[in-house]
Amino acid sequence: MASANYETLGLSSDQVLSMYESMLLARKIDERMWLLNRAGRIPFVVSCQGQEAAQVGAAMALNTEEDYLLPYYRDVGLVLHFGMTAQELMMQGFARADDPNSGGRQMPGHFGQKKNRIVTGSSPVTTQLPHAAGIALAAKMEKKNFVTLVSFGEGSASQGDFHEAANFAGVHNLPVIFFCENNKYAISVPMEKQSGSEHISERAAGYGMPGVTVDGNNPLAVYEAVKKAADRCRNGEGPTLIETLSYRQTPHSSDDDDSSYRTKEEVEEAKQNDSIHTFSAYLRECGVLTETKEKELQEKIKGIVDDATETAESAPYADPETTLNYVYAPKGGDL
Amino acid sequence: MAVINYIEAVNSALREEMAQDEKVFVLGEDVGAKGGVFRATEGLYEEFGESRVLDTPLAESAIAGVGIGAAMYGMKPVAEMQFADFIMPAVNQIISEAAKIRYRSNNDWTCPMTIRAPYGGGVHGALYHSQSVESLFAHVPGLKIVMPSTPYDVKGLLKAAIRDEDPVLFFEHKRAYRLVKGEVPEEEYVLPIGKADVKKEGTDVTVISYGLCLHFAMQAAERLEEEGISTHILDLRTVYPLDQEAVIQAASKTGKVLLVTEDNKEGSLMGEAAAIIGEYCLFDLDAPIQRLAGPDTPAMPFAPTMEKYFMMNPEKIEKAIRDLAEF
């Protein structure tokens, strides 16, 4: 763990502990999803493992009562911190009617929950970036002081929508944070085949905004970068591009076999920097976390994940006929 | 009632909706100080300011996508695609996003957005300033597609599109902009999206069409009156979802149906109209359903000879109606 001191960032010991708890909860939900998938109980998982520090670090730097979030499919840590519950995530995993993201319509990882300002997303990547610019534009037009954060993988930075959205936000000086979670792979394609530049953040200069690359395994470094970008947004100073460097610890999804494009040794080496362990060690060093506390936390989270799984698995599916609902507005709009 | 042209009706609808609702704003290429390449947004920049009449970078996916984001937040964006031919970079945003936002979020998020685009030929616009693109979008549930023919319909339906709670594609025939004039009432009115309109009552042959072709059909019908052939003309106005009931009624009325579009024939939305008639009106028909459309070439060429060959006109429609009447 880098020597970043949480106190110099203005964080309390309770806050960093809560940071760790969110990271651990995201990891444990994700691990459970894989078990359920391999047991044939849920059809699909797409993972956050390896990116929890970046996600929770970013979420903690935002105002979860008013800021807007446009996550991508790995952002379990971000949506948890913005108010989605473990049970709600499990409802999505099991495609149940009570899934707040979509009522069981979308695959897991397609987040959306209006009450928490988590904006609905799709599967074609990068489409959410222009949406984020649009929400930030609305903030500017309506003279509201909220920040919009949109996240995406490094593969998405190759899409036209990345360029179009960043350029639009640069031109109109919009209060938006482009948050690139570089996990080194877009399914099987490594970063060196994705980008002509070493860092995605280098492109920021072309859009007239600052670009920074931070260690995505260090939640405090990510917190600091996002906090600074959010302050810029609120001060009317415009957008920022942040790139976090981490490593995708799982295959792309439950339907991928990563052994055809990377070695076990490479994955094992990357896991040495697993933020769950390094941040835990850091918090122990600081005296914030003890073995007893860690054990309590693990027990508590296991209970949450167990309950969420049980409740979701026994919850009903939506009625088949509801397939027809909500193509258009229910009243007046239906043709 | 004042007589105004088609594009003045567009401008008037935008102005009224912007004046009534601060959430309504316009975005697109050259829509600001210039007032649009066709001048559809003329004067709006001066009246409502640059924050509500937004000149965007030259990037159609962003125009659609930024509009979608603003709409999800609760604004009422009206995006302009400079030409319908240039909507292609925005197709992912329109089909994958705008059309599915309500459905995929189980009614949690919505996208009340209007996308305007001038379509159609007859203006020496060649391949990329002449296309009809409606059939590309006309099997995408979640979208509504409006293609009005008269200034009265333009104004009433554009106001309805802006107020609609779901995304609406509003295609305006660019040849009609200054060619087509008509009466528009001074007082406020809004027309229902999803309803076709009988533009002429008749008894011998039914023509179903929309947009500029509708006027060509009216002219053909007028000439045929002198020969004693009475034509019934239905204007679809909303081309997706189709007003099935109106199509069935119009087809059943005469039993002889001519479907007219400027779009390429194969896969045009007239195939859907024919299918509806085939399903519901078989025993009312006295002749095979006829489709009159553009040829199946990629688009219309620049040379006037070839453009004229491609374009619909009153003569082509007149002949087709006469043939059906004599069947």
pLDDT at A333 over 50: no
Does the annotation count A163 as an active-site position?
Answer: no
What are the structure tokens assigned to B13, written together?
A: 């609808």
User: How confident is the model over A125-153, as a mean pLDDT?
Assistant: 98
- In which domain, by residue range, is A244 found? 6-322
Q: How many domains does chain A divide into? A: 1
Name the average pLDDT for chain A: 96
Given a cut of 60, whether residue A83 has pLDDT beyond it is yes
Binary contact (B57, A164; C-beta < 8 A): yes
CA distance B16 to chain A (A): 20
Chain A interface test: which of B61, B113, B162, B165 (most A C-beta within 10 Å): B61
Q: Is residue A125 part of a domain?
A: yes
A78 within some domain: yes
- To the nearest whole percent, how much of chain A has pLDDT over 90? 97
Backbone angles phi, psi at B138, to 5 degrees: -85, 20
Residues B80/B26, Cβ–Cβ less than 8 Å: yes
A331 has a pLDDT exceeding 80: no
What kind and span of H or E run contains B325?
helix B314-325
Does residue A330 belong to any structural domain of this protein? no
Q: Which residues of B touch A112 (CB under 8 A)?
A: 104-105, 108-109
Nearest CB to A333: which of B74, B106, B165? Answer: B165
B53-55 vs B168-173, strand pairing mode: unpaired
- The answer to whether residue B215 is catalytic is no
Residues A276-330: pLDDT tens digits? Answer: 999 999 999 999 999 999 999 999 999 999 999 999 999 999 999 999 999 999 9
Nearest to B158 by CA among B198, B190, B183: B190
Q: Is the distance from CB of A152 to CB of B134 less than 8 angstroms?
A: no
A277 is catalytic: no
- Is A1 part of a structural domain of the chain? no
Of chain A, the end-to-end C-alpha distance in Å amounts to 58
Q: Is residue A329 part of a domain?
A: no
> Mean pLDDT, to the nearest integer, of A149-174?
98
Task: Say if residue A335's pLDDT is above 50.
Answer: no
What pTM did the predictor assign? 0.97
Write b or e for each residue in A96-113: b if 16 or more Cβ atoms lie within 10 A of its Cβ, otherwise e: bebbbbbbbbbbbbbbbb
Letter for the amino acid at B194? G
* Per-residue pLDDT at A334: 42
Q: What is the DSSP string of B59-70?
A: -HHHHHHHHHHH
pLDDT, tens digit, for every residue of A31-62? 999 999 999 999 999 999 999 999 999 999 99
Give the pLDDT of chain B (327 residues) as one tens digit per residue. Answer: 899 999 999 999 999 999 999 999 999 999 999 999 999 999 999 999 999 999 999 999 999 999 999 999 999 999 999 999 999 999 999 999 999 999 999 999 999 999 999 999 999 999 999 999 999 999 999 999 999 999 999 999 999 999 999 999 999 999 999 999 999 999 999 999 999 999 999 999 999 999 999 999 999 999 999 999 999 999 999 999 999 999 999 999 999 999 999 999 999 999 999 999 999 999 999 999 999 999 999 999 999 999 999 999 999 999 999 999 999
B241 prior amide bond cis, ω within 30: yes
CA distance A99 to A86: 11
Per-residue tokens: A114: 């209006």
pLDDT band at A332 (very low <50, low <70, confident <90, very high): low
Segment A236-280, tens digit of pLDDT: 999 999 999 999 999 999 999 999 999 999 999 999 999 999 999
Strands annotated E in B63-210: 76-80, 114-119, 144-146, 168-173, 181-184, 197-200, 205-209
**Distance from CA of residue A295 to its chain's centroid?**
26
Residue A115 lies in a domain: yes
User: Are the CB atoms for B76 and B162 separated by under 8 Å?
Assistant: yes
**Selected residue of B24, B50, B106 to mutate for chain A interface (largest A Cβ count, 10 A):** B106
Separation of alpha carbons B240 and A236, rounded Å: 42
Q: Which amino acid is at B12?
A: S
Q: What is the pLDDT, as a whole number, of residue A5?
A: 87
Tell me, what's the ipTM?
0.97
Using alpha carbons, select from A131, A134, A137 the residue that is nearest to residue A112: A131
The pLDDT value recorded for residue A222 is 98
- Distance (Å, whole) CA B118 – CA B138: 17
- The SS3 call for residue A283 is helix
**Residue B279: helix, strand or coil by DSSP?**
helix
Cα–Cα dist A277/B79, whole Å: 49
Question: How does DSSP classify residue A173?
Answer: T
- C-beta atoms surrounding B142 within 10 Å: 20
Q: Is residue A225 part of a domain?
A: yes
Within a domain: residue A104? yes
Question: Would you place residue A4 in the very low, low, confident or very high pLDDT band (cuts 50, 70, 90)?
Answer: low
What number of other Cβ atoms are within 10 A of residue B67's Cβ? 35
Query: Is B69–A134 a contact, with Cβ atoms under 8 angstroms apart?
Result: yes
Say whether B169 sits in a helix, a strand or coil: strand
Q: Which residue has the tokens 């025939």?
A: B173
Residues 63-122 on A with a CB inside 8 Å of B are 68, 100-103, 105-106, 110, 112-114, 119-120, 122
Q: How far is CA B176 from the centre of its chain?
A: 11
Nearest to A213 by CA among A226, A200, A223, A203: A200
Non-local CB neighbours of B25 within 8 Å, separated by 6+ positions:
A141, B18, B48, B51, B52, B53, B54, B70, B75, B76, B77, B78
Which residues does chain A have within 8 Å of residue B104's beta carbon, measured at their own beta carbons? 102, 105-106, 110, 112, 120, 122
CATH at residue A48 = 3.40.50.970
